[in-house]
Amino acid sequence: MAKENAPEKKLMVGGQAVIEGVMMRSPEIVAVACRRADGNIVVWRKPYRSLLSRFKFLALPVFRGSIVLIESLVLGVQALTFSGDVAMEDERARQNGKTAEPAQPLGQRTLSQKVWMGLTLTFAFAIGLGIFFYVPLLLTDWLGARTGFWFNLVDGIIRLVFFLGYLWLITRMKDIRRVFEYHGAEHKSIFNFEEKKDLAPETAATFSRFHPRCGTSFLLIVMLVSIFVFMALGRPETVGDRLLRLAFIPVIGGISYEFIRLSDKGFRNAFWRLFILPGLWLQRLTTQEPDLGQLEVAIVSLKAALGEEVELLPNVVVNDGKAKMAQTV
């Protein structure tokens, strides 16, 4: 009787747009669905348990944010890699006038492929840190800010301008705008699920493409939180002081994660919504209205992450990461 009267626990799902597809993640499964050039949808999925569910001490506030951030980065890279493989196979098939070969499933790459991917990601990560964290320090030094307060305020504003400028520039790219349409499809389908409506493209189309738990909103919060955290560290005078800032990035991510959780809870509260609006406005850059076909891909990915039998749907081929992916027909 007590269990029947207890409030239903909210099942948290999240996702990410990829090349011609969407990655979805539930507490037990991660799935990627991509639209192939022949119109079929190919799905890759695997069981996944977060470190937070396996080691309860990691689920403490702030700590959990760092873990979620790292896990999201790893899964996001895997999903993007898979979708890139699918796109490359379709492009090769188009150039050769042949039927596309199946994409190589994750986890079956050669050692040289894994090493090359690791080096590429490390280089990209280093470039990102340099642009968004080190260059603003140099510019702030050049502008002559001396006190800890003004130095970190100017440094934070420059970093925020870089971030907004970067988002604006990539929205000018046609291929990126296509990914942003799938980003909108991801948000709409998650809203569809959270409102407990029938999961269908036509239903998902009625929901907003702006979601409070979006990674765009999270990054904006990271930029703002970093200003206050770095203020506590004072003005960096030495190389060691600047490296110390890098060490605090997981702390910044953890604090920002707690704010994004509060944003999700206060989304429908008029007062708290005022604080959430900047992140929602920013999503006007990183999301676009999807069509029904893109929403179908997002819904398939979501259903796969929820453990539904999506292989029974028409034009859907599923690989569970155990063998080479079956060719779409």
| Domain locations in the chain as residue ranges | 24-319
- How far apart are the C-alpha atoms of 80 and 18, rounded to whole Å? 5
Which amino acid type is present at position 327?
Q
* Nearest residue to 37 (alpha-carbon basis) of 107, 105, 95: 95
pLDDT 10s digit of each residue in the chain, 329 long?
344 444 445 678 889 999 999 999 999 999 999 999 888 899 998 898 888 888 888 888 888 888 888 888 889 888 988 888 888 888 787 777 665 555 444 445 555 656 666 677 677 777 877 788 888 888 998 888 888 899 999 999 999 999 999 988 988 888 899 999 999 999 999 999 999 999 999 999 999 999 998 989 998 999 999 999 999 988 888 888 888 888 898 899 899 998 888 887 777 777 777 788 888 999 999 999 999 999 999 999 999 999 888 876 777 777 665 433 333 32
Rg value, the chain, Cα: 21
This prediction's pTM = 0.85
DSSP-derived 3-state class of residue 306: coil
Cβ atoms of residues 69 and 285 within 8 Å? no
Exposure string over 106-118, b if 16+ CB within 10 A, otherwise e: beeeeeeeeeeee
User: Taking the alpha carbons of 205, 208, 210, 215 in that order, is the dihedral positive or negative?
Assistant: negative
* Nearest residue to 319 (alpha-carbon basis) of 39, 71, 41: 41
